[in-house]
Chains A and B, each alone.
Chain A
Amino acid sequence: MNKDEAHSQVELESSDDHRYIIFYLGQELYATPLTATREVVEVLPTKAIPNTVESFIGVCNLRGQIVGVVDLRRRFAIPENGAEGSGVYFVFDVNGGAIAAQIDSILCVDLIPPESLDTKPNLVTKFPQKYIIGIAKYRDRLVTVVDFRSILSHEELISLEIQEKKAA
């Protein structure tokens, strides 16, 4: 594929920065642009919030800020990898505040050069197509590059039941 074209696609987040956080969700490897992530913290105690969707774990105390946490595995029906208790939060700044996403573990932060990123992959994933940045080859493995920040900023937290009641 044409290199320039790849460039223009990745521009979503940052035009020059090709650094990504590469991490595990279940058994699969994913990557998300580093610059779109505010911080990475270890798993914090959470408190469940009623009337929210199942994939919304609850809120945590992130240095005095109350931040909601979404479990990405539950959200996208990714089988757990069995290593219970492990996990990391990605914290994203989305419009209107911070939101955290729980993933399994981080592999590394590394460059994924545009030439090894296929931005028009022909595949069906669990994620909405518009948030897929591409598929990359990384150390002989395939990594799905997803714009998780955008996914989270469009995430609906309130349970369907309540939403329907409101609409009614």
Chain B
Amino acid sequence: MDLAQSFLGIFLDEVEDTLQHWESDCLKLNKGESKAAALQSVFRHAHNLKGTAKSVGQVAFAEFVHSAEDLITLLMNDKIACTPDTVALLLECQAVLASWGAGLRADPQHVEQTQALAARLKLAASAGGLQPLQKLSSVTKAVAGDIFWADEVNTQSKAEPGSAAPATGEQVPLDVVKVAPGAVPVAEDTLRVPVARIDALIRLAGELAIQSAILTNATRNEAPMERQTQQAAALIAKAVSDLQTEALNLRMQSVGGLLQRMERVLRDVSRQLGKEIAIQVSGSEVELDKSVLERMKDPLVHILRNAVDHGVEDKETRVAAGKAAVANISVSAEQTSGSVTLTIRDDGKGLDKEKIFSKAVEKGLIDPSSKLFDADVFSLIFLPGFSTADRVTDVSGRGVGMDVVKRAVDEIGGKISIESSRGKGTTFQINIPSSLSITDVIIVDVESNLYAVPIQDIEEVVHINSLRAETVSGSSMMINLRGKVIPLKKLSMFLSNTESRESVESDRVAIVARSGRDSVALEVDRIFGQQSVVVRKLDGKLQKVPGFSGGTILQNGEPGMIVHLPTILNHFAQERAGS
């Protein structure tokens, strides 16, 4: 219900916005300025409005817009003349729709009385003699199911101008918008496209990028070729890479909707618990891949509920502690290169280290004698079956949740961290890749096999020779990395195809990865440098092979496996525990 209402809100915002354009276009028509462009613009606004109205279930609204759209189409095709009377009629429609929108804000069931005006529209349209939009409406109906809004497709630069219009099958002059002097750029025009279509496009662009990389590789290494050919190959590579970026961008959606939903949840929960909380939201314009966005929804809402329920104290406690009576919670999204950081910060009582520790001991999750850093204590709450809530409430504290949050973040290759100080508040920070399909990797050679290791899992790359490597207690190698002694493992111990052999190379390298508090250096035979790869999901059986998160096609056209370092570190840790 909440969601439907928030959709309606978005729709009504769009109605207001669109009607403003509608009005200005009609005024232009009245003045006789760039008639074709103005008509086409009105048409597009009407068409989009109809689509949105349908998607939020405002069928009557959509139907009325549809009848206006009919008239505009006839005008566009010169089936009827564009007289001041018809323009006045369009303006009247605009006014009625504006009043309808205002009515809906007050009452979601509101239906404006439009019969008289609709009849006049029909009458005016009948002068043109046709019902040209039958086809279009059926197209709109067919586009059902998994649909999202390709946000802010700039009609002038990205999409075909008048991209909505060709669906009518009518001849519409496509470049009028560009040519017409004084035409207002339609910046926020949108197009509804099924996700499957965009995914197909991304898949194709990905394949193209791979083949193009192979080609580029060949032009570098093989016999010298004509300058022109070389240039063409370079240009193709550039265009393909742009194409891929653009295709991937189609899946990007702003986090605005998610943040809005969180704001709403916070209002509801705080009211329910009788807590007074001010919320600050920032970074609505940050974009995330649609699938990432969807997967982050529940985890974020869960963290927020926890913050309201457990994090923030009630008014009396706050005042007694000398804090402002109204609590603050901020939710922000921030774009960094290739990743997005989501932060939820409250100024509540902070996490109780001792309580978490003793709870974890009580549940047998840790050894009572263990000595842990703050961050490690906090991350105990991500363990399955951990909950410190004294009472089980409706809002949170069912003992499920934080482990689910952690898992959801892990699944998309993100990281979650907690900072908290007693009496001052808690900050959850989630760092997630902004797009799932492309990832930056380092290519490493292990026993003459190339693997891709995601950069996000790597802390640093070190030359072992320059560091002191020592054998400790007989078998395990340790290296001294800037005063910190960390174990050195051969990655080939996990990724082994053949009998392991002694490394005699003088230039030994290792990648350093972190698991929890411990860093581990993993020796590889060679490092080939960094590249961006398109991640392919592995098919059924291959998925089960341990140590890999996916596959990719390397620049030379060979398949390459994407290594999942956390699994491998886990394997080594278990080995250590077992020995």
Contact = CB atoms under 8 A, between A and B. Distances in A.
A68 B539 contact: yes
Contacts of A47: 449-450, 558-561
B542 interface: yes
Interface in A68-105: 68, 94-99
Interface stretch (A13-21, A24-32, A58-66, A127-135): A58-66
A155 B536 contact: no
B545 A158 contact: yes
Contact of A50 (B210, B495, B540, B543): B495
Interface residues of B, number: 29
Given A50-B495, A61-B558, A66-B553, A97 B449 contact: no
A6 B156 CA distance: 66
A107 interface: no
Interface residues of A, number: 28
A61 B559 contact: yes
Contacts of A68: 539, 541-542
Contacts of B494: 50-51
A140 B542 CA distance: 40
B71 to A, nearest CB: 48
A52 B545 CA distance: 7
Contacts of A96: 539-541, 543
A97 B206 contact: no
Contact of A64 (B207, B450, B495): B207
Interface string A104-137: 0000000000000000000000000000000000
Contacts, number: 80
Most central of A59, A95, A155 by chain B CB within 10 Å: A59
B558 A45 contact: yes
A98 B539 contact: yes
B551 interface: yes
A159 B434 CA distance: 35
Chain B facing A: main interface SS: mixed
Contacts of B497: 48, 50
A18 to B, nearest CB: 29
B547 interface: yes
A64 B541 contact: no
Most central of B539, B551, B553 by chain A CB within 10 Å: B539
B542 A157 contact: yes
A162 interface: yes
A49 interface: yes
B546 A158 contact: yes
B541 A61 contact: no
A67 interface: yes
A50 B496 contact: yes
A61 B557 contact: yes
B538 interface: yes
A158 B540 CA distance: 12
Contacts of A61: 553, 557-559
A68 B561 CA distance: 12
Contacts of B559: 46-47, 59-61, 66
Given A51-B545, A64-B207, A158-B546, A59 B561 contact: yes
A155 B449 contact: no
B545 A66 contact: no
B197 interface: no
A155 B496 CA distance: 21
Contact of A97 (B207, B541, B557, B560): B541
A45 B546 CA distance: 22
Nearest to A157: B541
Given A49-B545, A51-B546, A64 B210 contact: yes
Contact of B539 (A50, A97, A166): A97
B544 interface: yes
Interface in B541-576: 541-548, 551-553, 557-561
A51 B561 CA distance: 13
Interface in A137-164: 155, 157-158, 162
A166 B206 CA distance: 35
A155 B558 contact: no
B395 to A, nearest CB: 38
A47 B497 CA distance: 11
A162 B449 CA distance: 20
A94 B540 contact: yes
A45 B450 CA distance: 13
Interface string B199-242: 00000001100100000000000000000000000000000000
6 contacts: A46-B559, A50-B497, A64-B207, A64-B210, A66-B542, A98-B539
Q: 10 tightest CB-CB pairs across the interface, nearest first?
A: A96-B540, A97-B539, A66-B551, A97-B540, A64-B207, A50-B495, A61-B559, A59-B559, A48-B497, A66-B559
Given A52-B545, A68-B542, 15 more contacts: A45-B558, A48-B497, A50-B495, A50-B496, A50-B497, A51-B545, A51-B547, A64-B206, A64-B553, A65-B539, A68-B539, A68-B541, A97-B541, A157-B542, A162-B546
